[in-house]
C-alpha cells in the first residue's frame, strides 16, 4: 500500500512540475512559441503569422455539433472582413486531424484548423480547450486580448467590430 501511495505521490509531483512549465499567454505579452498539428497532419507554427498578419485563434469544443458548426460557418462567412482588417483565422479543437479535415470539407471551411486533443495549445494560450475561447494576436506577435466563453452564433460578428 505504501509503495502504491509513493507512486501516486511521485506521479502527482511530476504532473505539477510539467504544468508549472506552461506559462499561459496574457494580453500584452508575446504569443508563446507553439506548434500544432493541422487538419492535414502537418506541423503548423503559430509564429509564422508574425510580421505578416494578426491572427484570430478560436477554440471550439467538438466538430459536427450544432454550436461548433454555427461558429465555424460564421468565421468562414466573415473571413474576407477579417482579412480586410489584416487578420488570419485559425480554428482549434480537441478533434483529431482526420475529423477536422472531414469537417472542413463538408462545411467548406476556408482557414487552417489545428488539433489539440490534450489541450497543450489551449493551456499555453491561457484558455480552456473544452470551451469557446478566442485569442487575438497582433501582427507584432503580441496577444491583444483573450475572450472567454464566447457566444457561438454571434462571436464572429461582435469580434470583428472590436478589431
Q: What is the pLDDT of residues 9-60, one digit of tens each?
A: 333 333 333 334 557 778 889 988 889 999 999 999 988 898 899 999 999 9
Question: Is 49 within a domain?
Answer: yes
Which residue out of 7, 18, 68, 70 is catalytically annotated? 68
Total structural domains within the chain: 1
Question: Is 40 within a domain?
Answer: yes
What is the structure's pLDDT at 24?
Answer: 74
Question: Is 146 within a domain?
Answer: yes
What is the structure's pLDDT at 22?
Answer: 55
Cα–Cα distance measured from residue 15 to residue 75, given in angstroms and rounded to the nearest whole number:
36
Please name the residue that has the C-alpha cell 497582433: 138
What is the structure's pLDDT at 51?
Answer: 86
What is the structure's pLDDT at 129?
Answer: 79
What torsion do the CA atoms of 140, 141, 145, 150 make, to the nearest 10 degrees? 120
At 135, is the pLDDT very low, low, confident or very high (cuts 50, 70, 90)?
very high
Question: Is 5 within a domain?
Answer: no
Indicate the average pLDDT of the chain.
86
Question: Is 65 within a domain?
Answer: yes
Residue 128 has pLDDT above 90, yes or no: no
Angle at 28 between CA 25 and CA 34, to 5 degrees: 35
Which CATH number fits the domain that encloses residue 82? 3.40.30.10
What torsion do the CA atoms of 96, 23, 130, 119 make, to the nearest 10 degrees? 20
Question: Is 3 within a domain?
Answer: no
Question: Is 17 within a domain?
Answer: no
- Catalytic residue flag (residue 13): no
3-state secondary structure (DSSP) of residue 87: strand
Cβ proximity of 137 and 144 under 8 Å: yes
Show the domain range for 131: 24-161
Residue whose C-alpha is closest to residue 36's, from 19, 52, 57:
57
Plot region of 118 (φ>0 → left; ψ -120 to 50 → alpha; else → beta): alpha
Let me know if 42 is exposed, middle or buried by CB neighbors in 10 A (0-12, 13-18, 19+): exposed
Cβ proximity of 138 and 54 under 8 Å: yes
46-50, 54-58, 72-76, 103-107: least confident range: 46-50
Question: Is 78 within a domain?
Answer: yes
Cα–Cα distance measured from residue 143 to residue 55, given in angstroms and rounded to the nearest whole number:
9
Q: What is the pTM of this model?
A: 0.83
DSSP 8-state secondary structure symbol assigned to residue 34: -
Cβ proximity of 68 and 79 under 8 Å: no
Amino acid at each position: 500500500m505504501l509503495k502504491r501511495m509513493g507512486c501516486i505521490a511521485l506521479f502527482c509531483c511530476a504532473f505539477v512540475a510539467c504544468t508549472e512549465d506552461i506559462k499561459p499567454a496574457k494580453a500584452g505579452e508575446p504569443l508563446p512559441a507553439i506548434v500544432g498539428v493541422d487538419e492535414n497532419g502537418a506541423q503548423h507554427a503559430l509564429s509564422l503569422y508574425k510580421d505578416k498578419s494578426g491572427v484570430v485563434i478560436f477554440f471550439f469544443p467538438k466538430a459536427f455539433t450544432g454550436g461548433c458548426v454555427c461558429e465555424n460557418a460564421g468565421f468562414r462567412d466573415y473571413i474576407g472582413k477579417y482579412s480586410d482588417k489584416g487578420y488570419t483565422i485559425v480554428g482549434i479543437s480537441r478533434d483529431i486531424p482526420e475529423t477536422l479535415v472531414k469537417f472542413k470539407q463538408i462545411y467548406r471551411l476556408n482557414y487552417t484548423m489545428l488539433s489539440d486533443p490534450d489541450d497543450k495549445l489551449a493551456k499555453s494560450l491561457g484558455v480552456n480547450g473544452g470551451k469557446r475561447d478566442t485569442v487575438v494576436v497582433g501582427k507584432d506577435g503580441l496577444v491583444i486580448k483573450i475572450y472567454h466563453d464566447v457566444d457561438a452564433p454571434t462571436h464572429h460578428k461582435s469580434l470583428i467590430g472590436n478589431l
